[in-house]
Structures are given as C-alpha cells and as structure tokens.
Structure 1
Amino acid sequence: MSAEPRLIAGARLALTTFTVAPVHAGRIDRATAGTAMALAPVVGALLGVPLAGVLLLLAPLTTPLVAAGVTVGVGALLTRGLHLDGLADTVDALGSYRRGPAALEIMKKPDVGPFGVVALVLVLLVQAAALAELAARSWPVVLAAVVTATAAGRLGVTFACRRGVPPARPDGLGALVASTVGPVALIAGTAAVALPAIATVPGRPWQGPLAVLAALAVAAGLLRHTVRRLGGITGDVLGATVEVVTTLVYLGLLLSG
C-alpha cells in the first residue's frame, strides 16, 4: 500500500491540531507538519463558517452581546480552548520578565497567573464586543468578517512557522513545526485570506485586507520579542498568535473614519 499523500496527511494534521474534528492524525513528520501549517488558514476559514452561522442564528433571538458571547464560547469549544490556553501561558511567561528555560518553565505550569487572566479577559471581551457590533450587519458581511478573522488568526501561525524561526524546545509542537513553511505558502495564504476580506467592510474594499496585513505586522513584532525572550516558538506561542491576530483583525474591521 502506498504512503498517504503529503497534502492529505497535512490536512488531517491541520484539522487535529486546530479543531476538535474527529480525524485521526496519520503520518506525522516535519514535511507533513509544514503542509499542515500552510493549510492552517483554510482550517480557520472552515471554522469561521459555523461561527458566523451561530451569530446570525442567535442575533434575532436575543441581544447582540449574548449572541456574540455564545459565538465566542462555541469557538473555544471547537478548538478545545487550546489557543486561549496558549495565550494565557505565553503572556504569563513574558510578564515574568524571565528568559529562556526559566520562562519556559512558567509556561508549563498548569495554573494561570494574573497576566494570563488579564490577557484572556481582554481578548474575550474585545472579540465578543466586535461580534456584537457585527451582528447588526447583513449576513454576507458577517460571514466574510468572521471567516476573515478566523482564517487570519491561523495565517498568523503560518507566518510564525516560516523558515528561520527556531523552536524554543527540542521537543513538542514547536520543534515539529518551526521553520517548516516556505515563502510560496506564505504568499498564497496571505492572498487567500485577503480575498474574502474585501467584502468585510461595504464601501471600503481596502479596509479588510489592510486590517489583515496590519494584524500580521503587529504579530510579527510580538513574535520577534517572544523569540528573543524564549529562544523560539512553542505550541503555546502559536496559540497566542491565533488569538492576537484574530482579535486585531476584528478591531481593524470595525474602525471607521
């Protein structure tokens, strides 16, 4: 029997890494991991569809904020809350002002410190408030906005796994995926996410793509700081990247002038 094609294996790994989909991971190696990280924005777009559906379904039945809060909760359920956990652990480590192994040790602790709690509350509040504002808009705009934000969050992971970014540990998810994504996948992923972003702000086709690029630029700066402090990326850093980019894109889509 021939080996499973890398694209299929990578898609399976991407689904098991970024969602609760009952898909068994097949072949796992760095080549497959690179394909999975390149496909991360596609998984994000797929997640965005049911989330937009939840928001659109509940918005007429309850208040916008309740509908938005439930949508955020469903998003956490569909991803096992791993990205939120990664955000809390990463912020706790950075907030400790420690470096290298000492900071990594903080990330491994099961409890959440004050910095992590504040980061979680802030991100969840901003995402819920943004979705509540979006709930009043037409369904094509809601769908485009939610798909764009969730896909962009995973595109942040693709960028974090680009060549030249080292892992912080010799094992774990970071070691498996670090430096596995080449420039072609980065360009293709950015174009694929920017396309639906054009429809997110009626009358301003430039605002959605600009929001995506600005969020990625901020995430790149945060990633450089994190790599300096930790020595590289970890699975927690990737989770934090998802939440930061997603939140920033929502903010960018709602800015008016």
Structure 2
Amino acid sequence: MSGTRSPSPRAPATEALIVAHGQPSEPEPAEAGIAALARRVQAVWPGGRVRGATLAMPGSLDTALAKAAHPPLVYPLFMSDGWFTASELSRRIAGRAAAILPPLGLDPALPGLAAGEVARSCAERGWRAEATVLIVAAHGSGRSLNAARAARRFADGIGSALRLGGIRVGFVEEPPGIAEAARDAGPRAICLPFFAAGGGHVAGDVPAALDDAGFRGLRAPPIGSHPAIPALIAQRLGQRAGTDTPGPERYAPASACASGWAGSFSPSMTSK
C-alpha cells in the first residue's frame, strides 16, 4: 500500500464582479477600462475570479453574471451609496449576487491614500502642506444628499490625516460649483477629482471649471486611478470572502511608491 496521499481538492475560486456606471453616449472605452481593472484586481487576488461590467453597456452586466459559476461578490466602482448603488444596481442584479459590497468612495482607506500623495506632491515641490489649498472636485447630485456627503467625508478624512492650508469641495451638479471652490486658491493649490475614473466629467467639466476660475495650481488624476486601488479592491473582496489578501501597501507598484501617484500632477494636466 502506498503512503502517498492524493492532494486535497482546491477550493473553488470566489467569483467577483466589479460594476461601474460607464458612459452611455460612448460605452466601449469604459467597458474596456473596467475589464482592465478587473484583470489588475485578479492579479493580486489569487483566491478569486474577477470580471468587470458597466451599466451603460447593453447586456454587459447580464453577461458577466451569467459567466459566474456561482453568485459573485459585487463591488460597486461608485463614489457614493446613491441611487445607482442603492436601487438600480440591486434591481438589475435581482438576487443573482452573493453580496453587494460598499462602494469605492466610502472605503475608509481612501482618504489616507489621497493624503499621502498630496503630502508627497507638496514635498516634491518644496511646498508646506499647511500652506497648500486642496480642492476636492466631485460629482454631487441635485436629487440626493449622498453624493455630496461622501465627498465631504472624503475631504474631512484627508484633513484629519494631513494638516493643510484649507480644503474646499466643489461639485459638477450642485452648489458650490468647482469654479467657485477653486477661485482665488492661489498657485500653491491642488485639485483632486473625487471620481472613480477619468471620463466626461474628469476630462471635460472639471478642467473647464478650473479654467473658468483661473486656477493656477496642480491638477491631479482622479483618486480612482491611484495605483493602489486594485489591491484595495482585492483586499475588500478577500475580507468578505474570508481569504487572506494583503492590502494596497504591498501591491502598489514600486514606481508609484518611489515617485508617487502625485508625481503625475501637472499644472496643465487633465485626467483621462
């Protein structure tokens, strides 16, 4: 009789689905973007199988749900718990998910990531953080308080982690507008878009408002493009699935840790 044991069967991978709003007028780029993000999350979460879908691409969500071997964990790539996450996403999933996690914008680690990069950006330019003004540019909503509440919570979290000369919040769809928030901020100022990715608002509305305000400071990429975001998502999925998944500190690319995501800030840059 052989003493060799058969290997234990491997546990099935946890299914996960990252869902974003997308761009109804041009759904393909956002669909490609969410698929790329899913691949990056998959790369740092070996215990899972990750797909992406946007609500704007016809059939995308249903196709992704149908491909899952069992009901997936759903991660909303949204910045607040507004109508899309609280109502529309739940309606369209219709019981086909194991759970819907809190959206990216409410993650308690997000303000710390932003504060670290703002501090690094200030240090690289010889600015004192306490003499620098931060403008948080957010979407807002004319129908719900949740979007503004999430943006202000994010701004407050940055302020708790980093002493700045001032933090202002401006919105695309409600007052105060981004131009109003950015006006007279001075040259030592940073505008950080509180958005999950580049898109129409980040590429168009935000820079237009900054131009209108005569903003002379640095224009940052959206917080959702931070290189540690895939690891942060993987960590949240792993926590919910009960698997051990290291956090964003381990998986942020070395180049991002060395020069900082804030190293991509530029006085003339618009996020795409």
Q: TM-score, normalised by structure 1?
A: 0.28
Q: Which structure has greater helix proportion?
A: 1
Give the TM-score of the pair, scaled to structure 2: 0.27
- Higher relative contact order (Cα pairs below 8 Å, separated by 6+ residues): 1
